[in-house]
Chain A
């Protein structure tokens, strides 16, 4: 925690009465803002990247009018959404209607508390941080369910029903896929999982757990309601799913939560399967030392960018799955396969195959 300790020491030395519980709460708040503000900027420019990337994939230009090359487009979108009127449907449950976006965004941000972006760059080093992510991440489904229920409208209700069953099914798959990582690393602490992948690119878990990585990526698409599994929105079938009745900032909050979750899933994939903050040139003679000055945060973000690009790539490539096909994929394909792979990993751990165990 070198970086944070330096800031804490600086504050306590300059302000002598700054001590005790209040001080630690303020420091935690500063850390949280230092994380959330770049995250929100990332979300804003991720939407821009999405429109540009999919635009070029479909031989269009994408947004290019606001600012140079369209770079101010996300800012313009944010301003527009902020000044739009929030419409309440007749007979909607107003409290739950407003609570739903809060329940969507709060867990999407709260999970970031335990994500290690570098060896000493995190807000909390929880002993059970992986379980914390799964537990807090599973609360996000309430936002969608309540949005569908409180809107008192047909299509949101259908979307909410779809999402409730989908998210619960794929949480089980993600849980089992991550069990294999925990088995190899021997810990549910994210920092320890990344530390266990130290060595070289061959020590990362993507080699022994390659099928799990694919399953994790596909399940992450479902968990974040992304195409080709975006039946929750399903604009060609149920208009816009749970967001139909939402407008202005209430809609924007759902949007922020979805993209924050996408970035989280990308970074989680990096931490689980791609060695987190470790450099890909680690262990390589000469090149490894040459890149040793690069901070771990850069590697995490660079690797996560690949997964984030893959999200957009998948969206531009595949048509939407039918609802029952997604359910079949979860219960009849992924779940038996992940359980079988747990036994394979158990065998590999016992026989000590490769550099991972």
Chain B
């Protein structure tokens, strides 16, 4: 076995194993961590395919941001473990049927007849000065510029929709006026009063 094959099988093993543990983990935080491991394995596989930009973007976006927010949410939730397992047996047959259909469909679509080596021969190894990111950028900003822009607009709509969902009208919003906070002076908050020394009006009871 070459070193690339050893790496391929190592990453694949970790990918399959961590995905399975992710599904069967009882603890939601541990499930997220195994999903992170799965992402790392995928990134390793993509680097073996000489797609280093995609691999690093996967880690940057999914591991660095999305999964952090997942963990953030999981920590805030009080997950009752018994309800998670409650109807496991009831859903199992349906789940198995759906899984079997997905596996069958994927075998038919991605099988040897459609994507075998005789139809798509293995690509040649890129030379050392091959820059994945340059090629990708050229493709993305010339041939595929309109789909790219469309995807950007779609994401923008999603952001606006998310903000609109949680947006509160002006009257019942609690907000701080930072400029007012910063421009506070001592005389606004503090009153200095002079008290006479032998003040007989002071009530000493």
Q: What is A's interface to B at a CB cutoff of 8 Å?
A: 21, 96, 126-128, 131-132, 134-136, 138-139, 141-142, 145-146, 148-149, 157, 160-161, 164-165, 167-168, 171, 188, 324-325, 328
Contacts and interface: CB of A to CB of B under 8 A. Distances in A.
A354 B196 CA distance: 69
Contact of A328 (B3, B59, B133, B178): B178
B57 A131 contact: yes
Contact of B69 (A132, A146, A168, A188): A168
Nearest to B76: A161
Contacts of B69: 164, 168
B75 A157 contact: yes
Contacts of A96: 29-30, 33
Contacts of B71: 142, 145-146, 149, 164
B68 interface: yes
Name the residue in B36, B53, B60, B75 with the highest tally of chain A Cβ atoms < 10 Å from its Cβ.
B60
A145 B75 CA distance: 9
A256 to B, nearest CB: 21
A132 B178 CA distance: 37
Given A188-B133, A328-B178, A164 B64 contact: no
B65 A168 contact: yes
Given A96-B29, A128-B52, A146-B33, 16 more contacts: A96-B30, A128-B53, A131-B53, A134-B64, A135-B56, A138-B64, A138-B65, A139-B63, A141-B64, A142-B33, A142-B36, A149-B71, A161-B72, A164-B68, A164-B72, A188-B133
Interface residues of B, number: 25
B10 interface: no
A138 B43 CA distance: 15
A141 B56 contact: no
Contacts of B63: 135, 138-139
Interface in B50-83: 52-53, 56-57, 59-60, 63-65, 68-69, 71-72, 75-76
The A contact surface, by secondary structure, is: helix
B interface secondary structure, majority: helix
Contacts of A134: 60, 64
Interface of B: 3, 29-30, 33, 36, 52-53, 56-57, 59-60, 63-65, 68-69, 71-72, 75-76, 131-133, 176, 178
B137 to A, nearest CB: 10
Given A128-B133, A324-B176, A165 B56 contact: no
B110 to A, nearest CB: 28
10 contacts: A128-B52, A131-B60, A138-B65, A139-B59, A141-B64, A142-B36, A145-B68, A149-B71, A168-B69, A188-B133
Contacts of A165: 72
Nearest to B27: A93
A171 B64 CA distance: 9
B59 A135 contact: yes
